Amino acid sequence: QNYLDNFWPDLKAAHELFDSILQAQRERESESQENNGKEYPEHLPVEILEAGIKSGRYIQGILHVSKHRAQLEALVRLQGFGSKETG
């Protein structure tokens, strides 16, 4: 803000862009505080998810998203499946 005020006081578009970015950052921080620091709110309470995993209703895994085709390709690797571990 100081840089813009001191060196570009008449550049309206830059000031508007800065204000827009600042507002977006404040909204994101506010949402993060509402969600206890998590970027996205949980869809179900943790207790329900844990119970569902234990009962077999839900499965748990790691999401892998293609870095080259992120909008088209992703998979979930289930824990305990496909690993080379034995035992």
Backbone conformation region of residue 34, classed left if phi is above 0, alpha if psi is from -120 to 50, else beta: alpha
Q: Kindly indicate the confidence band of residue 79, based on its pLDDT and cuts at 50, 70 and 90.
A: confident
Tell me: pLDDT of 45 over 90. no
pTM value is 0.39
pLDDT at 64: 92
pLDDT at 67: 92
Task: Retrieve residue 41's tokens.
Answer: 């709110």
Residue 58 and residue 40 in contact, taking contact as beta carbons nearer than 8 Å: no
